[in-house]
């Protein structure tokens, strides 16, 4: 058997492992026939991974624009010159892109060309596999990757916060959880360790990578780390904007975590509290949310570099804004801090 389709969208994660879900992509191998999915594999897998590894992790965002994979001529132009001295990248990206350009306006009779033996076919697959395995992104210093080493939580406050979240989860017993701004997944694992299907979202690629590597190390099956910008989420994309769903269409989640997040949305991104409440109303049935008051050092740090135009960022305004959509079922002050954890359910 061989694959006639190598779209990355055919890979979904189930119980912590990538699974090929498109069984119609398989077809019976025909001796001498070239691998028709070769170009798509290079565009969907090798080129994006090479760009993230050698150039910049943020180039993964190109996949939002190019739904059928990153064009190889673009990948070749973005990769550094020294990557041409790696045979796999030279052949599968640089020379591949050059060949595509050369034959772009030519009619080619593939049936009358040189046949590809089974040995050559297996060699191509082995070389691509080796090329992928050699790509290993090195952890870089990013804004949030070491958040828990620099946070203002004491050890006692951190343990108390975990305890509160565990108790609130036991109280509502959700089937699934979305943890928004999860960082490396410390609090996501409170849910996933209870057998709750948990998606652990964060904007920082280094934090997401650390989270995923921890999943692999521990063999965790109930947590999925995903790179996600809450202030600019992936929209519906593809033909008629219906091929891939947006966040809203994939919800609502039973429970959403918004821990140490609201002050970033309200202050760093100038979002009114009532609009934040509207957003959460659309994506969840219940909410475990942390309010970080103005006198907290993390809020004060955000205000150091900007004018304080946020007089409404207060506990009362926060509660009033969320009460339009949610019933506040419980609120607990985190020991050793002024922060408050709330359990809210849609009214």
- Domains along the chain? 2-133 (no CATH), 147-346 (3.40.50.150)
Give me the pLDDT at residue 108, please: 61
Q: Return the SS3 of 11.
A: strand
The answer to whether 110 and 59 are in contact (CB under 8 A) is no
pLDDT at 31 over 90: no
Alpha helices in 14-86 (DSSP H): 38-41, 47-54, 62-65, 72-78
What does pLDDT average to over the chain?
91
**Residue 94's CB: how many other CB atoms inside 10 A?**
20
User: Which range among 37-46, 114-123, 127-136, 200-209 shows the weakest confidence by mean pLDDT?
Assistant: 114-123
- Nearest-angstrom CA–CA distance, 73 and 71: 6
pLDDT tens digits for 278-304? 999 999 999 999 999 999 999 999 988
Q: Which of 13-22, 88-97, 103-112, 148-157 is modeled with the greatest confidence?
A: 88-97
* pTM for this entry: 0.89
Helices 273-283 and 315-323 pack at an angle, to 10 degrees, of 40
Q: Retrieve residue 264's tokens.
A: 């970033």
Percent residues over pLDDT 90 in the chain: 79
Main-chain phi, psi angles of 242, to 5 degrees? -125, -5
**Residue 202's CB: how many other CB atoms inside 10 A?**
27
Sign for the CA dihedral angle at 37, 43, 44, 45 comes to: positive
Give me the pLDDT at residue 113, please: 62
Any idea which residue has 């999915």 for tokens? 37
**Residue 220's CB: how many other CB atoms inside 10 A?**
21
Q: What is the mean pLDDT of residues 175-201?
A: 97
- Nearest-angstrom CA–CA distance, 64 and 237: 8
- Nearest-angstrom CA–CA distance, 133 and 283: 37
Give me the pLDDT at residue 150, please: 59
Q: Retrieve residue 207's tokens.
A: 């934090």
Give me the pLDDT at residue 149, please: 58
């Amino acid at each position: 058997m061989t694959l006639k389709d190598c779209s990355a969208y055919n890979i979904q994660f189930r119980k912590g492992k990538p699974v090929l879900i498109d069984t119609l992509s398989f077809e019976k191998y025909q001796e001498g026939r070239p691998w028709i999915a070769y170009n798509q594999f290079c565009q969907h897998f090798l080129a994006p991974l090479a760009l993230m590894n050698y150039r910049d992790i943020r180039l993964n965002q190109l996949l939002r624009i190019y739904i059928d994979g990153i064009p190889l001529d673009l990948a070749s132009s973005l990769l550094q010159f020294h990557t041409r001295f790696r045979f796999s990248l030279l052949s599968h990206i640089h020379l591949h892109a050059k060949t595509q350009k050369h034959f772009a306006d030519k009619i080619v009779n593939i049936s009358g060309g040189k046949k590809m033996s089974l040995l050559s076919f297996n060699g191509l697959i082995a070389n691509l596999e080796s090329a992928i395995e050699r790509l290993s992104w090195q952890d870089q210093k990013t804004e949030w990757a070491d958040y828990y080493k620099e946070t203002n939580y004491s050890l006692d406050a951190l343990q108390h916060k975990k305890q509160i979240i565990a108790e609130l989860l036991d109280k509502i017993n959700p089937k699934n959880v979305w943890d928004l701004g999860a960082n490396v997944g410390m609090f996501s694992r409170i849910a996933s360790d209870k057998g709750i299907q948990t998606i652990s979202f964060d904007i920082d690629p280094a934090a997401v990578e650390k989270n995923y590597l921890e999943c692999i190390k521990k063999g965790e099956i109930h947590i999925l780390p995903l790179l996600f910008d809450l202030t600019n989420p992936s929209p519906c994309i593809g033909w008629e904007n219906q091929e891939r769903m947006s966040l809203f269409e994939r919800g609502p989640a039973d429970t959403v975590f918004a821990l140490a997040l609201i002050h970033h949305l309200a202050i760093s991104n100038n979002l009114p509290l009532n609009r934040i409440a509207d957003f959460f109303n659309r994506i969840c049935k219940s909410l475990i949310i942390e309010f970080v008051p103005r006198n907290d050092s993390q809020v004060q740090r955000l205000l150091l570099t900007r004018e304080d135009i946020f007089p409404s960022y207060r506990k009362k305004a926060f509660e009033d804004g969320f009460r339009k959509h949610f019933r506040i079922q419980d609120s607990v002050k985190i020991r050793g801090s002024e922060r408050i954890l709330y359990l809210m359910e849609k009214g």
